[in-house]
Chain A
Amino acid sequence: MPGDSPNRSLGIGGRMAVAGGLVALVAAVAFSLLLGAIGDLRTSASRSLETQQLLLAASRLETLTLQLQSGQRGYVLTGEQSFLRGYEEAARDLEDATFALEMLALGRRDQSSRIRTIGSAVRSYYDTWSQPLVRLADSDLSAAQRRVGTGEGEQRVIRIRRQFDELADAEQALGATREAQARADGREAALVAAVSLGALLLLLAAIVGYFIRVVVVPVRRIDAAAKRRTAGDLTARVAPAGVGEARRLIAAFNEMAAAQERSVAELARRRAEIEAVLDAAVEGIGMTDANGDLVFTNDRMDELWRDLGVAERGSIWNRLAGLAQLTDAAESYAPAFAEIASDPEAVLEDDFEVPALQRSFRGYTAPVHGPRGAVIGRIFSLRETTEERAAERAKEEFLATVSHELRTPLTSIRGYLELVQEGEAGELTAEQARFLGIVDRSARHLHGLVDDLLVVGRTDEGRLDLEAGAVDLADVVAECVESALAAAGEKRIALASDVEPELLVEGDRRRLTQLVTNLVGNAVKFTPVGGKVDVRAHARDGRVVVEVADTGIGIAADEQDHLFERFFRASSATRAQVPGTGLGLAISKAIAEAHDGTISVSSREGEGTTFRVDLRGKASG
Chain B
Amino acid sequence: MSDGERLPLVLAADDDPLILELVQFRLERSGYRVITATNGDDALRLAREHRPDLAVLDVMMLGLNGYEVTRSLRADEETRDIPVILLTARVQEADVSQGFDAGADDYLTKPFSPQELRARVQAILGRR
Contacts and interface: CB of A to CB of B under 8 A. Distances in A.
8 contacts: A400-B90, A403-B89, A407-B89, A410-B111, A419-B26, A454-B91, A465-B93, A465-B94
Nearest to B15: A408
Given A424-B29, A465-B93, A408 B110 contact: yes
B1 interface: no
B101 interface: no
A436 B109 CA distance: 23
From B91, B94, B110, residue with most partner A Cβ within 10 Å: B110
Closest 8 CB pairs of A and B: A411-B111, A407-B89, A410-B111, A407-B110, A415-B22, A404-B89, A411-B110, A414-B111
Contact of A412 (B19, B89, B93): B19
Contacts of A411: 16, 19, 22, 89, 110-112
A296 interface: no
A152 B105 CA distance: 199
B111 A407 contact: yes
A465 B89 CA distance: 17
Given A404-B89, A404-B90, A412-B18, A447 B26 contact: no
Nearest to B16: A408
A405 to B, nearest CB: 8
Interface in B60-116: 60, 89-94, 109-115
Interface in A213-272: none
A106 to B, nearest CB: 155
Interface in A383-432: 400, 403-404, 407-408, 410-416, 418-419, 422, 424
A410 B114 contact: no
A419 B113 CA distance: 9
A408 B112 CA distance: 10
A564 B74 CA distance: 47
Nearest to B94: A465
A415 B112 contact: yes
Tell me the dominant secondary structure on chain A's binding face.
helix
A467 interface: yes
Contacts of A407: 89, 109-111
A410 B94 CA distance: 22
Contacts of B94: 465
Contact of B110 (A400, A410, A424): A410
Contacts of A451: 91
A122 B120 CA distance: 192
Given A408-B89, A412-B19, A454-B91, A424 B25 contact: yes
Nearest to B23: A415
B16 A419 contact: no
B90 A415 contact: no
Nearest to B22: A415
A419 B110 contact: no
Nearest to B91: A454
B119 to A, nearest CB: 13
Nearest to A422: B115
A84 to B, nearest CB: 182
A419 B111 contact: no
From B16, B29, B89, B109, residue with most partner A Cβ within 10 Å: B89
Contacts of B90: 400, 404
From A403, A411, A413, residue with most partner B Cβ within 10 Å: A411
A410 B109 CA distance: 11
Contacts of A422: 115
B25 A419 contact: yes
Nearest to A463: B92
Contacts of B113: 414-415, 418
A403 B60 CA distance: 14
A77 B95 CA distance: 192
A418 B93 contact: no
A418 B115 contact: yes
A419 B112 CA distance: 12
Nearest to B116: A418
Interface string B12-41: 000010110010011001000000000000
Interface string A492-536: 000000000000000000000000000000000000000000000
Nearest to B117: A415
A424 B29 CA distance: 9
Contacts of B92: 400, 465
A414 B92 CA distance: 21
Contacts of A467: 93
